[in-house]
Amino acid sequence: MKKTILSAFLIFLAALTFGQGKLISYDDLSYLLHNNINKADTFFTAKGFTLADKNINKKTRKYALTIPGGTYANFALRNDGRRMYIEIETNEPEQHNLIYNSISQYINKQTSTPEVQTFEVKDLGSIYIMVNDTTPYNPLRRTYTMQVVSDKSITSYN
C-alpha cells in the first residue's frame, strides 16, 4: 500500500514539474539577455515554442507556444546593438506567476501605477507588467504583457 501511494505521489510530482517545463522563468530570461539572438532559436525550440516570425535585417524574432486549454505564450525578441529586449504576451496565469515568483527574491526596486507594475531586478534589468481584460471578455482570463529591458551593463555576446 505504501509503495502504491509513494509511486502515485512521484508520478504526480513528475507531471507537475513537467507541466512548467515549457514556461519561462527568471533564469531563462537571464540566459536570453546574456546570449545573442541566434541562441534563442535553439533555446525556444528546446522549450517547445515555434518560430512565428524572423527578420534578420531588423534583428527580431517572435516565438509562439500554444498551451492546452486555449492559452498561449508569445515572445518577441529584439536585438538593439548589444542589448536584448524581450516582450511577452500571454493569457496563461501560470506563466505570469512563474516570472513573478522567480524574480521576487531578486527585486531591487518595485513601483506600481494602476496600469503598470515596474520591477528593477538584480542582474536582469527592468520588467514592466501590464494586465488587461481579454477580448472577448472572460472574467477568468487576463492578458499579461511583460516587457523586459536589460540593464545597461548586460550585453549579449556574439
Q: For the segment 112-132, what is each residue's pLDDT rounded down to a tens digit? A: 999 999 999 998 999 999 999
Average pLDDT over residues 14-24: 61
Residue 20 scores a pLDDT above 60: no
pLDDT above 80: residue 17: no
Between CA 49 and CA 11 the distance in angstroms is 25
Whole-angstrom Cα distance, residue 140 to residue 149? 29
pTM of the model: 0.81
**For residue 1, what pLDDT band results from cuts at 50, 70 and 90?**
low
